[in-house]
Amino acid sequence: MAMAKFQTCLSIFFVTFLFTSLVSATFYQNISPDQLRSREKLTHLRFYFHELITNEKPSLIIIDPPKVMSNSPLPFGSMVVIEDPLTIGPDVESKRIGKAQGFYLSATQRAGLDLEIVMGMTLTFFEGEFNGSTLCVLGRNEIINPVREMPIIGGTGAFRFARGFVLARSVKVDYHKGDATVEYNIYVYHYPSTTSSSHHHFNEGLHFMSDPILNKI
């Protein structure tokens, strides 16, 4: 009796084991980081971010502001959507090297003019080796501080595996109009594409694994 029970347990164990190993084998495998063609490198980028409110075509819109009494220009819960130009110099007419697309949320209930926002955005670049590549920023931004720091939480293209941080420093703010120019200094670790992004090793990822079950369907 005990023996039969033991055998049942054993066979359940083996079936489970076989099943999990088959299933797991079909959707992941370990690969060695040595297979990366490029080595991780550290890049510093500096450019200028412009919020253009008084333009013919403003670079941001405020989404349906919450109906609360507040002396804050952006009451708690406000959301702003941006598509801001990034330029090589502090002058908005200088060369455009990319754009910032995303949102920010007013995230403090404290009254007053010193905004605390949470920003989430994608920085897309148009130039040189970074053309078409993006960086993702998500972090807290207390506007009153001369320099704010936000994390870089990822990237695409030449910025795959990106990690790093942004230092944002306001260089020109028109408090009446709301227009602002902010210097961005970014320090980021990433794996650059060796040639053009289409030849990167990871593009083979989807057909990288041979699948013993799917191949037979």
Ligand X SMILES: *[C@@H]1O[C@H](CO)[C@@H](O)[C@H](O)[C@H]1NC(C)=O
Residues that bind ligand X (CB under 6 A): 126-127, 131-132
User: Hey, what are 141's tokens?
Assistant: 């931004």
Both tokens assigned to 163: 């990690």
CB-nearer residue toward ligand X: 115 or 158 = 158
* Phi, psi torsion values for 195, nearest 5 degrees: -115, -125
In our burial notation (b when 16+ CB lie closer than 10 A, e otherwise), range 122-141 reads bbbbeeeebeebbbbbebeb
112 Cβ contact list (under 8 Å, min separation 6): 71, 72
Name the residue with the smallest CB distance to ligand X: 131
Write down the least CB distance from residue 128 to ligand X, Å: 7
Closest approach, Cβ 43 to ligand X, in A, equals 18
Nearer to ligand X, 132 or 212 (CB): 132
Q: Are 104 and 141 in contact (CB under 8 A)?
A: yes
Closest approach of Cβ 157 to ligand X, in Å?
Answer: 11
Q: What are phi and psi of 167, to 5 degrees?
A: -110, 120
Closest separation between CB of residue 196 and ligand X, Å? 9
* Residue 127 Cβ vs ligand X, minimum distance, rounded to whole Å: 5
